[in-house]
Copies of this chain bind each other. A is one copy, B any other.
Amino acid sequence: MTTQTFFPVAQNHHKAFGPISVPKRLLLGPGPSNAHPDVLNALALPPIGHLDPFYVDLMSEVQELLRYAWQTDNRLTLPMSGTGSAAMEATLANSVEPGDRVLVAIKGYFGNRLADMADRYKADVKTIEKPWGEAFSIEEIESALDQYRPSILAMVHAETSTGVCQPMEGIGDLCKKYDCLLLLDTVTSLGGVPLFLDQWGVDLAYSCSQKGLSCPPGLGPFTISPRAEEKLNSRSEKVPNWYLDVSLLNKYWGSDRVYHHTAPVNMNFGIREALRLLSEEGLENAWNRHMDNAQRLWQGLETIGLDLHVDKDLRLPTLTTVRIPDGVDGKAFTIHLLKNHGIEIGGGLGSLAGKVWRIGLMGYNSTPENVDTILNLFETELPRFKN
């Protein structure tokens, strides 16, 4: 027997690491949230082949469960084999051709990301902006559509950076009137906040696995309407991103099940279980649970004298931004919560850095017990962090 060792094996990176032991964490930040134990059990099932008849059936189940969660009939509804950001990029990569005008309505960090991505796909990017913590009015949207006449309006339903829920009534009708596609970020709303993609006239949407669905991060739900599929089918050139090319993925996730890439089989076991649990609870129940627990949190925070950053009627039930009081070292408090209590909450991003905390109550984590735990810590321990 010949070994194929041509060189001595270098040992400079050969370190002896022990098995992983993960600290116990309650994840009450902007995501990931804790995963449901049944989802973790599903993740740990032995993998099977990505063309196995059993797996092919499971793919159809995941698609159907996603259609329910998003309230859409879209044929091409599937989890992209990457995180929410990959699914975000998929919406643009497939719909934008060079020179297409894309209007991005920016009211936080993730609106800026949409603009950056659209630019990389050679869109003619136009933006409108609102201060971080506000939403767009229907009049502002119409005025911008009228002025810019875009092919695509891209916006964020649930801004994870600000805690704002964008009211969607009437926007889809405007997009039809101005003959543009509506692209919507639902990363922090899927599973936790009412979503009616078809009723709202949404053409492209994406989300993630690790927030309202309580599955670990790693998959990016994606959906495309027949109207947006038409634009995809009439492209003059290939989609400039092979991995996220829906015209190729269609052959695997559509009827033919032709190999495209080796699917992340276990992550799909996980999201299938997460979506099943959501379906078992029922959307209305899940949405109401999130709202009830959010209101419990809001009331409690205000009772102990903290200000919430977003007006009540625009607040996301899944993510709350709390203003850091003057004289408080916000960062030190988050580090204290993590180190001494095993609880993660988030800090601010972008223009809200240093100004807010972000508290997430998503999916499995949206419980009265978790609300009371975090309220109790704010009440009893925050005073020690005032200068």
Contacts and interface: CB of A to CB of B under 8 A. Distances in A.
A341 interface: no
Q: How many of these chains are in the complex?
A: 2
Interface stretch (A33-41, A129-137, A227-235, A301-309): A33-41
A351 interface: no
A321 to B, nearest CB: 17
Nearest to A263: B217
Contacts of A218: 81, 218, 264-267
Nearest to A317: B4
A226 interface: no
A217 B47 contact: yes
A1 B49 contact: no
Given A46-B22, A242-B85, A1 B34 contact: no
A61 B13 CA distance: 10
B22 A48 contact: yes
Contacts of A22: 45-46, 48, 54, 269
A71 B20 contact: no
A4 B194 contact: yes
A257 interface: no
A39 B283 CA distance: 34
Interface residues of A, number: 110
Interface stretch (A148-156, A171-179, A271-279, A376-384): A271-279
A7 B71 CA distance: 10
B32 A262 contact: yes
Contacts of A47: 27, 32, 34-35, 210, 216-217
Nearest to A3: B288
Nearest to A25: B48
Nearest to A290: B4
A161 to B, nearest CB: 11
Contacts of A9: 71, 282-284
A85 B243 CA distance: 7
A335 to B, nearest CB: 9
5 contacts: A12-B73, A22-B46, A22-B48, A24-B46, A208-B262
Interface of A: 1-7, 9-17, 19-20, 22-25, 27, 29, 31-32, 34-35, 38, 40-50, 52-54, 58, 61, 64-65, 67-68, 71, 73, 81-86, 89, 113, 116-117, 119-121, 169, 193-194, 196, 198-199, 208, 210, 216-218, 238-244, 259-267, 269-270, 272-273, 276, 279-280, 282-284, 287-288, 291-292, 295, 317, 338, 344, 349
